Structures are given as C-alpha cells and as structure tokens.
Chains A and B, each alone.
Chain A
Amino acid sequence: MANLNTEFLGIPSPNPFWLASAPPTDKAYNVNRAFEAGWGGAVWKTLGEDPHIVNVSGPRYSALHSNDRRVIGFNNIELITDRPLQTNLDEMRQVKRDWPDRALVASVMFPMNEQTWAKYLPMIEDTGADAFELNFGCPHGMSERGMGAAVGQVPEYIQMATEWAKKAATVPVIVKLTPNVTNILPPAKGALDGGADAVSLINTVNSIMRVNYDTLTMYPTTDGMGTHGGYCGEAVKPIALNMVAEIARTKETQALPISGIGGISDWRDAVDFLALGASNVQVCTAAMVYGFKIIDDLVDGLSNFLDDKQLTLDDLVGKAVPSVTDWQYLNLNYVEKAVIDQDLCIKCGRCHIVCEDTSHQAITNTVNGERRFEVIDEECVGCNLCVSVCPVDGCISMQQLTDGTDPRTGEPIRTEKRNWTMHPNNPMRKTD
C-alpha cells in the first residue's frame, strides 16, 4: 500500500482527501462520522458573524440527472452556517480533540472590515483548528451582501482580506477561489500578494438548473420564486482542472500550494487534480450524493494506482503540469489518424454519422456492400470526435503518423516541430 500520509501546509492528515466546507462538515455529528469512515480532514462549514444567517426552508438543492438518475451536476442556494458561532466553536474544539490526527480547517467569511477579522479569527483559532480557509467563493446570497464571490471577483479585495486574516491568524491561511471569473490568475495573484499560504479551488459555478415544465417557472422555487445557485459535482471538474493547472503552470502563481476541489467522486478524479498541481483535494458533492463511504475507493484506488505506477504521492503532484501549455506552442507538424479496431467494433455507426454530419466525412459506413466503418486517412483530421462518441472503450484509437506523407494534405511528415509562432500562415510569426 502506497503511503498516503499528507502534509498540506505542514498540517498532517492520513490521506489527501478532505471534506470541503459544506453540509457534510456542518456539525460535529457529520464530521465524526466522516472521520470514522476514514476521511483525512474536514474544512468546517463556513463560519460567519452572529447573528447567524438563515436558510430557506424549501428546496436548496437540485440536480442534473442522467436517465437512471445518476447525479451529474448539483446546484445549491445554501448560505454559510446557519448555527450560532459558539455552537460551531464548541463542536470544532471537541472534534479536534477527539481526532488529533485529522486536519480540521476553519472556513470563514466576514464583511470587508479589518476589525471583524481581527475580532473573530483568534477566537476561532482557539478551537485548535489547523488552518483557516477564506471563503471568497459563495456565488449566491452571501455575494449580495458584499461577501463570498463579491470579494473573490476583485483581486484587490482578496488581497486586502487575506492581509487582515494573516495579521489575525497564527495558523496558515488558505484562500478559496471562485470560478465565476474570466481569468483565475488575478484572484490567485491577489491571494499570493496578500500573503496567502495556499489557495483552494473551485467553489461553485453560478447556475440555474432548469425550468419546471408545468409551471414554466425556474426550478426549483421557494414560494414561486427562485434564484441562481452554485453548480458543482462531476460536471464542473473540467472547469476546476483548468483553473488549477493555470495556477500551477504560471510563473507568478506557481509557488502557491493548491487544494483541488470540484467534482471529485472517484480516485481517478483525484489523480487528475494531483497531477495537474494540487497537493491535496477536497470533496463535497460526491459525499452528498453517496455518503461518506466513497472514501474507501478514493483511498485504496489512489493507493493501488500509485503502487502500479511505482510513484509516491509527492511524485504524482504536478506530474502533468509540464504537459499543459498555450495553444500557440502545440506542434502543428504532428499528425494523428483515427484507427478502428474492427474486432472490437459493434457497428453502431455513431462514428460515421458524427464525422459525416459534423466533422470531416472521414469514416465509411459501407465497404464492398457491407456495413463496415473504416477511417479514410485522406479525410481524417485527427480530431478525436469519433473516439469521444464510440460506445466501446478502446475501439477507436488515435495513432501517430511517423513517416511518409499525410494522405490528407499530401505534405511529408516532418520530424522537426513547428508551432503557430513559427507557422508561415501566422503574420506575426517569429522569424529566425
């Protein structure tokens, strides 16, 4: 078994899986159960000022389902904790005392004035919490009050609040970023400049799930009216991965340790985040959809994977980051063609019709009068569409042309690399 012990910002936990600040970490009852199940740490449900906020007493959640009602995406309009601060503090103290080997992080959200931060942070730190996470992400409700995403969307505010937190806290400060921005780098830079020890991302994405087809109102509603909420779960993972990778590969931000969040439900999702630069990961929706038991697969799946690859957890972190670059640096001399394994092909014809209707007319449907699907190398641009739609895993693969000519362009296959910055069609190309 690979060693999954992690030290994120020096905070030890028996594995890199923390529960994200959300309902699963709302109170001691839940967190005790999570730790019993084997979770490595928990970021407590975001604390705020007293008097505590109130939630709606109607639907907070809604889901994007597959036909067999697997939850693919999840939406919520829940606010931060709706319990008195002292109740939370008492419970956090107890939990940390009972579970000294697990990470316990206090998520916080306060209005934009320094006194409030200075007043509350020492009180909270006194519970024994290992770190703070500043919630600059919540896209609904709290943002209307000038907190959450309203802060997270302005790098200067992030920096300012981070500085206040750093002044008031002695434990590390993690800044949780909102994905509701066009470019994640300025907020990350704001956190760094404010002195953040790490960033965590993503929080939820602004969203409306759908309409109700009978009432033709948005869905869900509270007494007939609804509001946009935060989107999370499997569907947001690619958005999160891009943002994590951007921070990890950019010179100005790459020093920031990252706690990866967004759509993690099995160990492979965790591998995605870790390889793209996160040092640990946090999970919310998958636990809310299946309960805490999913930790079993997360832990031994990751461990088996590391064993198979003969890697340590540290080796894995950031392993894929060097493979992420800008479009302009991709090698335009590199050519791949789709290849169909006729033994695996079940002849559904999907590859043919999608290529025919929407791509490059590069897959046959009939060969010598028989139903047969073959790639026409003269037409195939190597786009990967057929691979993406084929229902049989591994049936279509992309294979590199290493010599000869590309039958599509008639151009010889060149071994030297040529990207857009050097391409003759680029008026701004660098000439050497």
Chain B
Amino acid sequence: MPDNKPDIRSHRLGKGEIADNFGDLHPPLSRSEALIEADRCYFCYDAPCTIACPTGIDIPGFIQKIRSDNIRGSAHTILRENIMGGMCARVCPTEVLCEEACVRNSHEEKPVRIGLLQRYATDPIFTEGSALFARAATTGKRIAVVGGGPAGLSCAHRLAMLGHDVVVYHRDRKPGGLNEYGIAAYKVIDDFAQKEVDYILSIGGIELRGGAVMGVDFSLQQLRDAYDAVFIGIGLGSVNALGLPGEEMTGVESAIDYIATLRQSGDLGELPVGRRVVVIGGGMTAIDIAVQSKRLGAENVDLVYRRGPEQMGASRYEQELAQTNGVNIRRWAKPGGLLGDSHVTGVEFERTELDDEGRLRATGDRFTLAADTVFKAIGQAMDADVFGEGAEHLQLKNGRILVDSAQKTSLDDVWAGGDCVLGGDDLTVTAVQHGKLAAVDIDKRLRTN
C-alpha cells in the first residue's frame, strides 16, 4: 500500500456546508404538524410506550395535552418523570424504546413520533424558563453528588425538589457530562445542553463545583464524612484500547476525545479531519464519529465491526443514518494490525465468522484499509481507582458499581447510577432514571433515619 503523507486538514468544507451538516438532525415540529401527529395517538391504556420508556413518562397523557394546546401541562407531565425530557427528546434511540412499543406499529408500521412530540412540548419551557417545579420545605440534609451528567443532575434535581441541599462535584469545565461533551453535535444544536442544565439548576438548592475530581481533589471517604448521603454518577472515564502495536502512533485517536473537542469547538471548520478515516467499533460512539467525520468533509469513512448488524450496539436506525451519510459499514472483520511508522497509514483487518458453537473466530482472510485517521470506538470503562479512600467495601462487578433496584450500592450511605453502574444500557434516559430512583430512595432513608 502506498505510504503517502497523512492528509489531515481543516476547512475541507465551506462554512455553509458545515452549517447545514451540523444543523438540527430532526427539525422540530410546527404546531400543525404536532397537532396532526398528536391526533395519531390512541391514548392507550397502560400504554406500551410508557412501559418502554426507561423513565416511565406518561406518553398518552402528555400527547393528550398537546392536542388541547396545554403545552405547559404537557411539559410538566414529561419533566416530572424525566427532568432531561428535552435532551431525551433529541437523543433517545426511540426506535428501540417508546416508538418501538407504539401500537401504531402493528397497525400501520409507523409509530407515533413520540420523540418529536416530546420536543415540541418541552422546547417552550427552556426558551421561556417557566418554573414547573418547586422545592419542598427544607430538610436540612446535605447530599453530595459526584458527576454532572444526566445521572448526577437528575438525582440533584429530584433531591432539591424533595427539600434537600445538594452539592454537585464534576470533573469538567462545564456541567452536563456527555450531553455537553459526547452526544453528536447535530442532535443538540444551539447549546441546548447548557440551557437544560440552567433550567435544572433554577429550582435552587443545587451548588455546582466544576473541575473537582474525585480521587484527586477529594476522596469518597471525605464526602461520606461531610454529607448525609453520596450519589455517584461519574460515567465511564477511560477508553478501551485496541491492544495492538503502534497504538501510540499519531493519527490513532480516541473517538470520545475527538468528539469532546468537536462539541467544544467554536468553529467546526477549524477542526482537522483526515481524508480517509477508519472507525473501529459498532456502538453509538462509532456511528457518531463516523458520521461527524463525514459531515466535516472526510472523503472516505469506513466503519469496521467484528460482528453482524444485530450485534451492533447502534440501533438499526443509527446504522442506516451512517449509511445514508455515506459511511461504509463493513461487518465481520477485526483489526489485526496498525500500519505506519510515526503516523498511522492504514489498518489491516482479518475477516471473522461464527463457528458452530456461535463463537467468533478469524477466517485468516485479510484486507487492509488505508487511513489518515483511525478512531477507536470499542467501548469505555470505569476507572476503578477513581474513588480514593472510602471505597474499600464498595462492591464492583465487571468493572462497574453494583447497585440494588433502588440504586443503592453496597455502602449504606452511597448510591450510584448512570453508565458507571452494572446493568445499565449506556443511554442518557437510563442515567436520568437512575438518578431519580436514587434520589427517591435517599429521601426515604434520610426521612426514616
């Protein structure tokens, strides 16, 4: 293969094209579109969509209120179960959640567009800043929340509502977790993540401490000593390595880090992009880096995954999104080696298949893909040494925190939720639900003790 100089540069596309590519993926519904769509809802009893929503939003209830132009009531129905109902309306893979369960699928293979209706109902709340929630009488209890992502903020908001005082410690410059640093840019335009955080904080009783890193600036033990309860929602701190020689070459990058840079970039055109991009992985992160590379102007983007479409972490819809954006998805191949000296020039792959027992095995058939940039997107892990002192009896399993159904850990005063706990599905909406459940349980414990 030709060992030419890496072609990585900014401004592959003009300003206008970039603006189009990073505009709203799904434009919001107009009032008439929303009314017509709302009319499609059957107002099901014990609605399957609600059961499928990890936060249990009363979906027919909020849609009914859209029908009657009771938008504030509709938003309240949504946000009282899911304070990040605005974000979830944008980022939930509805095709495998509420919309998959919608009975309209059995009728006409076209669900009610719940996500877009949810956005229609909640958007005005964030523009108008209407206060929908008030705090209960103060309890005098103080709770530390570690993590400013969906799990932490959801927990903090519910605790504040229940009358407790909350301090949120988070590592980053801005709160929001992956809402701010991870979600694909075209899903959350116009700084929505920060608007949502502002709305959440507007309830009062929540103090934010940014740039505060557990394990460095404080330990879990210090929090346990200083607060009545602790909630941990630190997400997944490290990126899985490929484990191949040459991984330290320039041009081999963490998809997560690149996306974080992208999300914080004031001028997307300035971002350097490879001409030929190879993405390794099959989850949401892989799809997002592939599509965003393409939309930044990469000429050729290959996404390579070692198994088939059913096993991909990304939903069918996300896979199609990648394909319609011109990403070549290649399945049944795993990376065998990275090519290049100081800068990566390509990746060698080996084809895979399932053996008779359903185990993945390499076939010996190889091919190479030339690359200016290789993105690793094969998953993340929690840093186990992040807690510092005080976590000696905190039970972990498979590298994640073990919790009960109320999100309580093995420690009596520590709860956890979101990506860092075992058994989640690495979705924003699930993190929100964990935070809410934990808050309710913390409240119960603090009131009975």
Q: In the complex, what residue of chain A is closest to B105 when comparing beta carbons?
A: A346
Check A350–B44 contact: CB distance below 8 A.
Answer: yes
| A308 beta carbon closer than 8 Å to chain B | no
Interface residue A349 (Cβ < 8 Å from any Cβ of B): yes
Complex contact A391–B35 (CB within 8 A): no
Closest to B47 in A: A349
CB < 8 Å: which of A67, A68, A348, A392 contacts B44? A348
A352 at the interface (CB under 8 A from B): yes
CB A217 to nearest CB in B, in angstroms, measures: 18
Beta-carbon contact of A68 and B39 below 8 Å: yes
A365 within 8 A of B: yes
Of residues 342 to 361 in A, which have CB atoms within 8 Å of B's CB atoms? 346-350, 352-353
Q: Are A349 and B46 in contact (CB under 8 A)?
A: yes
Cβ contact within 8 Å between A391 and B46? no
The proximity string for B residues 92-114 relative to A, scoring 1 for CB distances below 8 Å and 0 otherwise, is 00000000000110110000000
A345 to chain B: closest residue by CB? B106
Q: Which residues of B contact A391 (CB under 8 A)?
A: 42, 107
A417 on the interface (CB 8 Å rule)? no
Complex: A346 Cα to B106 Cα, angstroms: 6
Q: In terms of DSSP, what is the predominant structure of the interface of chain A? A: loop
Which residue in chain B gives the minimum CB-CB distance to A347? B103
Asked if B48 contacts A371 (CB within 8 A), the reply is yes
Q: A347-B48, A347-B103, A348-B103 are in contact. Are A67 and B39 (CB under 8 A)?
A: yes
C-alpha gap A67/B36 in the complex (Å): 6
- In the assembled complex, A66 has its CB within 8 A of some CB on chain B: yes
Residues from chain A with a CB closer than 8 A to the CB of B153 are: none
Name the interface residues of B35-84: CB closer than 8 Å to any CB of A: 35-36, 38-39, 42-48, 67
Assess the B45–A350 pair: CB atoms within 8 A.
yes
**Chain A residues positioned under 8 Å from B43 (CB to CB):** 350
Interchain CA distance A66-B107 in the complex, whole Å: 21
Which B residue's beta carbon lies closest to that of A68?
B36
Closest chain-A Cβ to B103's Cβ sits at a distance in Å of 4
**Inter-chain contacts of A353 with B (CB < 8 A):** 45-46
CB interface residues, B 4-53, toward A, < 8 Å? 32, 35-36, 38-39, 42-48
- Interchain nearest-CB distance for B232 vs A (Å): 36
In the complex formed, the residue of A with least CB distance to B33 is A68
Using Cβ atoms and an 8 Å threshold, which residues of chain A touch B39?
A: 66-68
The answer on a CB contact under 8 Å between B35 and A349 is no
Find out whether the CB atom of B107 lies under 8 angstroms from the CB atom of A346.
yes
Looking at the assembled complex, report how far the CB atom of A39 sits from the nearest CB atom of chain B, in whole angstroms: 31
Contact B46–A67 (Cβ < 8 Å): no
Chain A residues with Cβ below 8 Å from B47 are: 349
Taking CB atoms, residues of chain B closer than 8 Å to A352 are 45
Q: Tell me how far the C-beta of A364 lies from the nearest C-beta in chain B, rounded to whole angstroms.
A: 12
**A67 near B45 (CB under 8 angstroms)?**
no
The range of chain B's interface size is: 10 to 19
Number of interface residues of A (CB under 8 A): 15
Q: Chain B nearest CB: distance from A290 CB in Å?
A: 18
Interface centre among A66, A347, A348, A371 (most CB of B within 10 A): A348
A371 to B47, CA, bound (A): 11
Contact of B67 among A67, A346, A371 (CB under 8 A): A67
Query: Are the C-beta atoms of B106 and A347 separated by less than 8 Å?
Result: yes
- Tell me if B46 and A392 are in contact (CB < 8 A): no
A347 to B42, CA, bound (A): 11
Do A365 and B106 touch (CB < 8 A)? Answer: no
Kindly state the separation between the CA atoms of A318 and B32 in the bound complex, as whole angstroms.
Answer: 43
* Cα A349 to Cα B44 with chains together (Å): 6
Q: Output the least CB separation between A121 and chain B (Å).
A: 50
Asked whether A350 lies within 8 Å of B48 as measured between CB atoms, the reply is no
| Residues of chain A with a CB closer than 8 A to B48's CB | 347, 371
Contact residues in A for B38 (Cβ distance below 8 Å): 67
Q: How far is the CA of A349 from the CA of B32 in the complex (A)?
A: 27
Contacts of A66 in B (CB 8 A): 39
B67 CB contacts on chain A under 8 angstroms: 67
Most buried by A among B32, B39, B44, B48: B44
Q: What 0/1 readout, one digit per residue, does chain A (302-342) give for beta carbons within 8 Å of chain B? A: 00000000000000000000000000000000000000000
B62 CB, min distance to chain A CBs, angstroms = 15
Task: Scan A386-398; emit 1 where CB is below 8 A from any B CB, else 0.
Answer: 0000011000000
Contact with B along A45-80 (1 / 0, CB 8 A): 000000000000000000000111100000000000
B42 contact from A68, A69, A350, A371, Cβ within 8 A: A350
Given contacts A66-B39, A68-B35, contact A346 B45 (CB under 8 A): no
> Known: A67-B67, A346-B106. Is A365-B45 also a contact (CB below 8 A)?
yes
Proximity string of chain A (160-183) to chain B, C-beta cutoff 8 Å, 1 when within and 0 when not: 000000000000000000000000
What is the CA–CA distance of A74 and B55 in the complex, to the nearest angstrom?
A: 42
Query: How many Å lie between the Cα of A9 and that of B108 in the bound state?
Result: 48
Query: With the chains together, A67 CA to B44 CA distance in Å?
Result: 18
CB–CB B45/A348 < 8 A: yes
In the complex, A187→B295 CA distance in Å? 75
| Contact (Cβ within 8 A) A392 B107 | yes
Give the docked Cα–Cα distance between A204 and B440 (Å). 58
Contact present for A67 and B106 (CB under 8 Å): no
A350→B107 CA distance, assembly (Å): 14
- Nearest Cβ on chain B to A404's Cβ, whole angstroms: 31
- Chain B residues with CB under 8 Å of A346's CB are 103-104, 106-107
Roughly how many angstroms separate A348 CA and B46 CA in the complex, as a whole number? Answer: 8
Minimum distance in angstroms from B338 CB to a CB of chain A: 51
Q: Chain A contacts of B103 at CB under 8 A?
A: 346-348
Q: B: which residues have CB within 8 A of A? A: 32, 35-36, 38-39, 42-48, 67, 103-104, 106-107
Nearest 5 pairs of A and B residues by beta carbon: A349-B45, A353-B45, A67-B39, A346-B106, A346-B103
25 contacts between A and B (CB under 8 A): A66-B39, A67-B36, A68-B35, A68-B36, A68-B39, A346-B103, A346-B104, A346-B106, A346-B107, A347-B48, A347-B106, A348-B44, A348-B45, A349-B44, A349-B45, A349-B46, A349-B47, A350-B43, A350-B44, A353-B45, A365-B46, A371-B46, A371-B48, A391-B42, A391-B107
Q: List residues of A whose CB falls within 8 A of some B CB.
A: 66-69, 346-350, 352-353, 365, 371, 391-392
Additional pairs, 6, CB under 8 Å, beyond known A68-B32, A391-B107: A69-B32, A346-B103, A346-B107, A349-B45, A350-B43, A371-B48
